[in-house]
Every structure is written in C-alpha cells, then in structure tokens.
Amino acid sequence: MKIDVITTKKEFEAIRERWGALLANSGGNIFQTWEWQWSWWKYYARDKKLYILVATEKDLVGIAPFCLSKSYYGLPIKVLSLLGTGPSDYGGFIVLPEKKERFIEELLKHLSTTYVNWDVVDLQQLPEDLPYVDLFKSLIKGSGFGEVGLFQDDSLTLSLPSNWDELAGTLSKKFRHNLSYCSRRIFKEHKVDIYNLNERADDVVFGMNVLFNLHQKRWRARKLPGLFWSKRYRAFHSDIASHFYKKGWLALYLLKLDDEAAASLYGFEYDGRFYYYLGGFDPRWEHLSIGTFLTGEAIRDSIAKKFSYFDFLRGGEKYKLKWRAVSHKNMRFLICKENGCLKTAVLPPRLAMQLLDCETEVLRKAKNKLRKV
C-alpha cells in the first residue's frame, strides 16, 4: 500500500471522481463527500494547509482528509485535523472495509515518520460505532503515540419502518395525539402548501434565503444570534445547496400558511438516509407546532422513498427523542507523540492535548445550555 499526500487545490480538485467512487464503495456519509469537503476548504481554509493522505493499491483504497493549522484559537499548537471540522456532524476516514487495518497501520506509520511538524492530531465527531474505531484505538497503543478519547456529542437516528402507521404505533400516546391535533388544525384553519425546493437552481437560492430568514427569526425571538448570523456560514451552505441539488442530494422543504413562509427544513438525502441538518420557523406560528409538523412531513417522504434512516444528527434535544430516535455517541480522539516535546513545538504535545480536552468540555456545556433555551 502506497501513501501519497495531496497538498494543492489543483490535486484536490483532480481527485473528485476517484474520491466519489471510493466513498460509494466504503459506506461513508454525506459529510465525507468530495463536494462537502471541497466547499468547506473554500470557506474555512484561512491559514491552513492541505494535507490529504491517499492510499493506493493500483486503485484508491483509503483517504485521510487532513489539513494542518499553524495555531489553534491563537495558541501555538500545530494541529492536524480533518477537513470539515466544525460544520460536519460526522467525521472520519474513507477506506474500503477490507483494507481498514492495513490503511490505519500505514497511516500511523506515515504520521510517525513524516517531515511535517505537528503537535496534535485532532479527530472530531467520529461515530463510536464506526467499524474501524476499536481497531484504530488498539493500533494506537503500540504505535508510539499517546491518545485520548473524549465523548463529544450525542447523535440521534431514527430507524424507519415500512409505513407511517407502523412508526406512529411506536410513538407515545400524547405525542401521537398532538401530531394529529396540530395537523388537523393547520389544514382546517389555513391554506397549506408544502414544497421541496430541490429541482431548480432559482428555487434553491430562494429556498436557502427563506431558511436563513426563518432560522434567524426564531433565534432572535429568543435573544440569541442563530447560526446564520455569519456571512461565511451562509455562503458555505449556499454553496453546499448548489452542489447537492445537482447531485440529487438536497432536501429543502418550505411550508407556507396562507401564502406566507412559515417553516423551512434543510437536509440531505444520501445512500438511503435522510440527514436533518437545520430548520427554522416564524415564531408567530409556534403555537401550531409547525416545526414538528414539517419534520413529520419529511419523515413521511423518507418512508415513502424507502429510506432506512432519518438522521437527526448532533444534539440530544428532547424533540428528537419524541420521535423515538436512538442516541449514539460521537467521539473526539486526540493523538500526540509519546516521546515528549517535538523539537519545533512551543508547547509540549501532552499539554496541547489537555488544552483541547478542556475545549471539548466547555463547548459541550455551552451546547447543553443552548438546548434548554
């Protein structure tokens, strides 16, 4: 197995087709698509350097999509992290199942001998049930590296049955009643239009602007900034929507009541799974539980399309549990060299790891407080 390094944008662009073919054969997720990673690099590269490791055995068998940062929140820590870190709900490597052990062995060997100076390898949002996570942890122990595994987030997923009635039968009596009551009231009292704006470029642009507006309205009503206050974040997701609609992966629901935009739901459809990324609604309609209503419509569509899962992604919000979604853990792995301080390091790697460990705890506490708002 040969490991090569992609360090230029031109090389990154050239690997697009091979990347997609490998992902299709490895069972990866939407956040590992070339399109997602490319858009992330476009908007979040800043002073980072590409350092994508690609493994080949005649054909491409594995990708570790890294980038290297010179500092971390102003601290003198050189961090090798995954492309997509931050906006991505799931991280990880892309590797053929039958090649995972050899790939990880070669990856660790490369990291131990590379001329690139790094203090910490930071792997965020790795689903605990990834097929190579346990293997990765066991191989780390004998590789000359120090490793810390941290719980980072809960991620909730609903396994979809063959029909809506079967799903409804698993819901609590109270939640099932509320769903039925709100639905009847919405259709009785208002003109209702539901769209999935994912077929024309103009509709996608319009739908994303509506999403931004409704999401911000909801959070400003709670005296909070909302995620789309950032121009960069809006631009990144507009770019994602443009890429994904062309690939048939975009879901962009719009609920209109009496010809007014009332709620929006933004997600992705990929490999038999619906990913619910973000939503928004006008607080004026909150008494009708329109967010829950629109989520129900997206779930109905997913069942009709024979999807296996409806993924609510990161966050243990209570509304997800009402749908009987099951929680899984996302982990953060921090790796450093056991033999102490690198010659060029300003901070000892162990201290750098402790600082990143503290960051994980602070961010988790902050997220939990926001979910209670």
**Confidence at 138, pLDDT banded by 50, 70, 90:** confident
Structure tokens, 200: 């024309």
Ranges 63-72, 205-214, 332-341: which has the least confidence: 332-341
- Residues 19-37: pLDDT tens digits? 999 999 999 999 999 999 9
The torsion region of residue 354 among left (phi > 0), alpha (psi -120 to 50) and beta comes to: alpha
344 pLDDT exceeds 60? no
More confident residue, 118 or 314: 314
Using alpha carbons, select from 283, 302, 322 the residue that is nearest to residue 196: 302
Residues 14, 30: Cα–Cα separation, whole Å: 20
- pLDDT score for 131: 78
State the average pLDDT for the chain: 89
- pLDDT score for 362: 54
- pLDDT score for 78: 85
Inter-residue contact 371 to 317 (CB < 8 Å): yes
More confident residue, 132 or 186: 186
- What CATH number does the domain located at 2-155+329-371 have? 3.40.630.30
Residues 240, 252: Cα–Cα separation, whole Å: 12
**Is the fold of 2-155+329-371 the same as that of 161-307?**
yes
- pLDDT score for 373: 44
**Confidence at 355, pLDDT banded by 50, 70, 90:** low
Cα 34 to chain centroid distance, Å, stands at: 14
- Residues 40-68: pLDDT tens digits? 999 999 889 999 999 999 899 999 999 99
CATH for 161-307, options being 3.90.76.10, 3.90.1170.50, 3.40.630.30, 3.40.50.920: 3.40.630.30
Using alpha carbons, select from 341, 359, 358 the residue that is nearest to residue 350: 341
- Residue 196: count other Cβ atoms within 10 Å of its Cβ: 17
Mean pLDDT of 231-253: 97
Across 131-191, the runs of DSSP E, i.e. the strands, are 145-159
Domain coordinates in residue numbering, the chain: 2-155+329-371, 161-307
369 pLDDT exceeds 80? no
364 pLDDT exceeds 60? no
CA dihedral angle for residue 347, residue 348, residue 353, residue 355, rounded to 10 degrees:
-40
Using alpha carbons, select from 48, 29, 25 the residue that is nearest to residue 12: 48
Residues 108, 105: Cα–Cα separation, whole Å: 5
- pLDDT score for 115: 61
Helix H or strand E encompassing 268? strand 260-270
Mean pLDDT of 284-295: 95
Residues 227, 245: Cα–Cα separation, whole Å: 22
What percentage of the chain has pLDDT greater than the value 70? Answer: 89
Residues 99, 55: Cα–Cα separation, whole Å: 10
The torsion region of residue 164 among left (phi > 0), alpha (psi -120 to 50) and beta comes to: alpha
Backbone angles phi, psi at 146, to 5 degrees: -95, 145
Q: How far apart are the first and last CA of the chain?
A: 50
Length of the chain as a residue count: 373
**CA-based R_g, the chain, Å:** 22
Q: What is the DSSP letter of 319?
A: H
> Longest C-alpha distance within the chain, in Å?
71
Q: Which residues contact 88 (CB under 8 A, 6 or more apart)?
A: 31, 36, 40, 82, 124, 125
**Confidence at 113, pLDDT banded by 50, 70, 90:** confident
pTM, entire model: 0.90
